[in-house]
Amino acid sequence: FTITVNSVSLPSLLTFFLYIGISWPKLPSPVSPATITSAVSPNMGVPRFTRPKTPATDSPSPYLYVANCGPAVGISYDTIASVFNTFGEVKGIYAADESGTRVIVSYSEANSAQQALTALNGKSCADLGGRSLHIRYSIIQPNCEAESQQVNEQIPVSLLDSEVNIPGLYLVHDFLSPQEEKELLAAVDERPWISLSKRRVQHYGYEFCYGTRNVDTKLHLGKLPSFVSSILERISLFPGLNSSTSILLDQLT
């Protein structure tokens, strides 16, 4: 769960990460970084992309450069992923530059990218706000592919919250009882899921955008669901939180 604590006494949003192990297996010792690669954020060790030297029609690849969509024009990475997932498995959505209006769509297969380019290039997409997309193939820069693989293999692993030195971050083992786990899973499964390429999510309060790693405070989704009330009460008892009466837990993913 990602719980955002919005305090009017603070100049910015304070994000409180609570990792709750639901039937989570004990990690073996020692732990190899390669063992938990899938649990690492896809934005870590992201390779750099570039335009192919040969014409696009002669160099299909699993990567697409897509212009005229992105967070800067009100289109989240989750929304982009859901549209491009129609043509095949999307491994990730990455910022192509700092504009916020251009992205790289990374597919598992080049054939999926080819289908998406044919279907969407130069055409208005209703699911993306009616914007006309400009798409071309992209490739990983040759000297960066091996580098990005090496980075992913060397990501450090921490099993204690004190090791990462992030204020406000708590790792609590067995925070939920087995009965609470069952009740929580049953409650969320009764509600609609948002399916992404490698996960499914639910957002409450505010949508958490994985592309920007933040929330849009202008788009309020409503109150947090009642089935997490007891959890929120327990969180409010954490050191550093109960000393302020102005803190409001208002975002849940």
Could you give the CA distance from residue 249 to residue 251 in angstroms, rounded to a whole number?
A: 6
The first and second tokens of residue 30, run together, are: 């020692």
Cβ neighbours of 47 (radius 10 Å): 21
Domain map of the chain by residue range? Answer: 56-140
Amino acid at 202: Q
Which residue blocks in the chain are alpha helix, DSSP H? 77-84, 110-120, 142-153, 161-164, 178-189, 229-235
In angstroms, the CA 229 to CA 247 distance is 15
CA distance 48 to 145: 8
Q: Torsion-angle region of residue 232: left (phi > 0), alpha (psi -120 to 50) or beta?
A: alpha
Q: What's the sign of the alpha-carbon dihedral 154, 173, 231, 177? A: positive
Indicate the pLDDT class of residue 173, thresholds 50, 70 and 90: confident
Task: Write the CB contacts of 70 (distance below 8 Å, at least 6 apart in sequence).
Answer: 77, 80, 95, 99, 100, 101, 102, 103, 211
Q: Which one of 1.25.40.10, 3.40.50.12780, 3.20.20.70, 3.30.70.330 gives the CATH number of domain 56-140?
A: 3.30.70.330
* Identity of the highest mean pLDDT range in 57-61, 92-96, 154-158, 165-169: 92-96
DSSP conformational letter for 207: P
pTM: predicted TM-score of the whole model, two decimal places: 0.41
The string of pLDDT tens digits covering residues 109-154 is 999 999 999 999 999 899 998 999 999 998 876 655 444 554 444 5
Give the Cα separation of 48 and 151 in Å (integer).
13
CA 253 to the chain's CA centroid: 10
Tell me the two tokens of residue 49. 């992309």
Handedness of CA 35, 41, 43, 49 (dihedral sign): positive
What is the secondary structure of 131-181 as a DSSP string?
Answer: EEPEEEEEEE-HHHHHHHHHHHHT----SSHHHHT-TT-EE-TT-S-HHHH
- pLDDT tens for each residue of 99-113: 888 899 999 999 999
pLDDT in tens, 203-221: 889 888 877 788 888 888 8
List the single range of 15-19, 29-33, 137-141 with lowest mean pLDDT: 29-33
Amino acid at 32: S
C-beta of residue 100 within 8 angstroms of C-beta of residue 70? yes
